[in-house]
A and B are shown apart, each in its own frame.
Chain A
């Protein structure tokens, strides 16, 4: 048995029983990363020294019988847009290639408090803008299931690392599907929490009103375990919600009898890959066989949500990315005479094409004369979306859709067509606009043996019901047990 293939709950048990040490476990990951990651390219930074040192500390604690955190000794990878003090936070951008964060994100403080081992920083689309990790300024991450395919994005490094057993679990961020879509492309469990459940302090902002940090894990139990460590009101983030802390492992129970699932028809129509459609319909049958009631429903505003998402996300991004101006930190052009030149060249040379495209889009929609037609209108649509989701949750416990209309695509096949890339976000962006939580779980494979994921959407702050549904499904199917065949 290779210990790197195990889940958090399996490893926790072995660590406590002293069958393995955290040092051995961490070392096993480091060795595997050294051998395998050159083929996959999931990691931007590997924190070998600090991870091994921390592992020793935890082993010490275990030996002394000291009180342990919930993730004691478990190596976790972090998407490279989450700040860790004294470690590079690059956002996979030339702009921040050498940026060392002077502080740690709240989620990192929380993981540290729970004795987790931070094993490294993971690749992504530059500034989380993209759905394939091809937009990283450094290198393209490969899908462990098929090296010619993308791992999804923007948290593609996080998904590839967990899927290839290069980390036990990983944190990603999700602005329009950036946790769920790569989870579905790599056969993982990925959770986008309700906006406000997890602090954003220390997450390099893409679109402030949509961004959430969340876990990518090997199964639903691990998802609940990591989620437990991330939640809680943070005084440093005004948008973090002040709600009672829940122990999500309490909802790892295989029972959904009599609960209701809505299937919004807008997400099962045109553009859906046949294998994906069939897999989701199969999942529907599984839920029905387990006693859930499944009905078709409608979210009429859906057709407007993709443009709405790109208006809101780009508008906020254009402002959020203004601070990368070459003045205080980050890339500064060596060739400038005037202040204007310093700005223009630093930003032109430091940002990649997709980031520039979105900054331009966002600047445009906020410009005087266009604000009302785009930004204001998009805010109105957002309100409508929130209300339509709200109404559905008066009737249904969860909603069921595919996570992505397609499975992992060929590297390079969509990079020349940004709009085609945007269209693949249709199933996931609506959820960020409405601010509700959604989980992607494995539900099959396509004819090319590429993973398919389904998305369960829950009501505001009702992650517990999502966990319950996902766990019930997982316990009655075996998709999650499949692993990519990798030669080390």
Chain B
């Protein structure tokens, strides 16, 4: 039986305002527990919230960049529930009149374009954090994160695969980064997603019963949890079981999802208008000013890279998906004449090392990357050495020219020096000479390899090759 998967996402992004949404405490991540706190964000009796105007500005920018309508009148509401990380026992959010609504984003999976509808974007406050088990099995509350501003971006149930969901979140991440309204640091939880998922038989128009998997904070977790849940639902249906509407959690270490609570004990949040805050009223002028102030977004930057730097669309897509990478590229090409090589470094070693080392910020500048490419292009270092220099740049953020100088990595292109090495290697490997003369071409490779080893990788490989051939054919 063929099934169709229906996926809708709720993406939460922390906004990178300096201060919290309803008080003037710092939003900085980390810090000693309960040090970025005041009577307002700790829910002291009598304290009152005051809306941070920057939050509205950032959220409207996000809405505009995601093609939303912006509400001129919107309202904040209380969502009531008890949990130790929620100091007021209600979260100030938006219920029926969100700031942004009816938007959409275009995604591209395997070359196929698709439009994903955005139902709404609303502003709300984050909760604090519970630290478990550190001190004698007790749970301790840290309210540094309480009252940090969030936007929740709710999609239409328009996605049909884990890959589409991933592409959609990637698109949101890149737009928010370009707007500089969110750090989107998934490891720190500043971007996280809830996945609503159901399956139905192909051709069916009615939706199946959906489940919601909460708090996914990496692309890997999004993809794996979706694949897990699809598999679980299909197996259940095939066995003739009913899918239960429920909230689920994802355990990324064990690679399994599990039910957290069912519909029967679903919360009644008792939403009602927040009486401590007034309506958010926006003028056309305010909205238009923000619209005109939007920076270059990924799509137009991509077109620019293809046109101005003749990058293949594939490269342009990957680089512009991340503002950090695109900014690095832009900075590098200012001083480099080899955009394609810059792009190769970014897409290859840099992306790989960032993901292997779980690093979210590029540890060196674009100018440094341009210098590295220059060193190769000018024959100063070999590509083998370049890899080592790159690793050093990545680890220490150092200027590649300095690295090369300090470590004496400059390529040896001096004929006398090369000859010295070649002669030494030949002397130590009479068997290889014999092999070569007997017609085994592979022996040349071996000899060049030995010479490289001898020169600690610094000898110019083309020159080595030529000189070995000259000597062997004498």
Contact with B along A235-276 (1 / 0, CB 8 A): 111110000000000000000000000000000000000000
Q: Which of B80, B82, B87 contacts A343 (CB 8 A)?
A: B82
- Docked CA distance A237–B270 (Å): 24
- Which residues of chain B have C-beta atoms less than 8 A from A103's C-beta? 39, 44, 47
Is B270 within 8 A of A319, CB to CB? Answer: yes
Interface Cβ pair total, 8 Å cutoff:
101
A96 touches B45 (CB 8 A): yes
Asked if B50 and A323 sit within 8 Å, CB to CB, the answer is no
Residue pair A208, B272 in contact (C-beta under 8 Å): no
- Number of B residues near A (Cβ < 8 Å) is 28
Docked-complex contact B89 and A367, CB < 8 angstroms: no
A residues near B78, Cβ cutoff 8 Å: 319
Main secondary structure of the interface of B (DSSP, over half): loop
Q: In the complex where A319-B90, A328-B43, A375-B272 touch, is A201 in contact with B48 (Cβ < 8 A)?
A: yes
Closest to B40 in A: A236
Residues of A within 8 A of B276 (CB): 205, 208, 237-239
CB distance B47 to A201 under 8 Å?
yes
Question: Nearest Cβ distance between residue B178 and chain A, in whole angstroms?
Answer: 32
B84 interfacial contact with A, CB 8 Å: yes
> Of the candidates A205, A328, A366, which one forms a contact with B46 in the assembled complex, judged by CB atoms under 8 Å apart?
A205
Chain B nearest CB: distance from A233 CB in Å? 12
On chain A, the residues within 8 Å of B84 by CB distance are: 325, 327, 339
Q: Per-position contact with A for B75-104: 1 when CB-CB < 8 Å, else 0?
A: 000101010100111100000000000000
Asked whether B203 is an interface residue with its Cβ less than 8 Å from the other chain, the reply is no
Residues of B within 8 A of A324 (CB): 45
CB neighbours of B427 from chain A (8 A): none
User: Within the assembled complex, what's the spacing in Å between the Cα atoms of A319 and B278?
Assistant: 17
Q: Which of A235, A236, A237 has the most CB of B within 10 A?
A: A236
Known A-B contacts A322-B89, A323-B43, A328-B43; the reply to A239 vs B278 at CB < 8 A is: yes
Q: How far is the CA of A102 from the CA of B278 in the complex (A)?
A: 26
Verify A105–B39 contact, CB threshold 8 A.
no
Knowing A319-B80, A339-B84, A366-B80 touch, does A208 contact B45 (C-beta < 8 A)? no
Cα distance, A411 to B357, chains bound together (Å):
73
B277 at the interface (CB under 8 A from A): yes
B270/A367 in contact, CB under 8 A: yes
A315 at the interface (CB under 8 A from B): yes
Closest approach, in angstroms, between the C-beta of A77 and any C-beta of chain B?
18
B268 touches A (CB below 8 Å)? yes
How many residues from A make CB contacts under 8 Å with B? 44
Residue B49 CB within 8 A of the other chain: yes
- Give, as a whole number of angstroms, the nearest-CB distance from B143 to chain A: 8
Check A142 for interface membership: any CB of B closer than 8 A: no
Is the pair B87, A323 in contact by a Cβ cutoff of 8 Å?
Answer: yes
A238 to B44, Cβ gap below 8 A? Answer: no
Distance of A91 Cα from B275 Cα, bound (Å): 21
| B223 neighbours in A (Cβ, 8 Å) | none
Q: B270 touching A363 by the CB < 8 A rule?
A: yes
Complex Cα distance, B141 from A375, in Å, reads 33
Q: How far is the CA of A205 from the CA of B43 in the complex (A)?
A: 12
Considering the chains assembled together, what is the distance between the CA atoms of A103 and B44 in angstroms?
9
Query: Is residue B42 within 8 Å, beta carbon to beta carbon, of the partner chain?
Result: yes
The reply to whether A368 and B268 form a contact with Cβ atoms under 8 Å apart is: yes
When chains A and B are docked, how far (Å) is the Cα of A101 from the Cα of B48? 14
Which residues of chain A (46-79) have a CB below 8 Å from chain B?
A: none
CA distance A200 to B89 in the complex (A): 20
A408-430 CB contacts (< 8 Å) to partner B: none
Beta-carbon contacts under 8 Å, B13-55 to A:
39, 42-51
Residues from chain B with Cβ under 8 Å of A83 in the complex: 44-46
CA distance A323 to B92 in the complex (A): 13
Residues of B within 8 A of A368 (CB): 268, 270
With A and B bound together, what is the CA distance between A99 and B44 in angstroms?
10
A102 touches B44 (CB 8 A): yes
Q: Which residues of chain B are near A141, meaning CB under 8 Å?
A: none
In Å, the complex CA distance between A81 and B364 comes to 56
Across the interface, B45 reaches (CB within 8 A) one of A101, A239, A316, A367, namely A101
B46, A204: Cβ atoms under 8 Å? yes
Which A residues touch B270, using CB under 8 A?
Answer: 318-319, 363, 366-368, 371
- Whether A101 pairs with B44 at a CB distance below 8 angstroms is yes
CA of A322 to CA of B90, assembled, Å: 8
Q: Which residues of B contact A235 (CB under 8 A)?
A: 50
What per-residue 1/0 map shows which CB atoms of B262-292 lie under 8 Å from chain A? Answer: 0000001011100111100000000000000
Q: Can you give 19 contacting A-B residue pairs, CB < 8 Å?
A: A82-B46, A83-B46, A89-B45, A105-B46, A200-B46, A200-B48, A201-B47, A203-B46, A236-B50, A238-B276, A239-B48, A239-B277, A319-B80, A322-B82, A325-B82, A325-B84, A328-B42, A339-B84, A366-B270
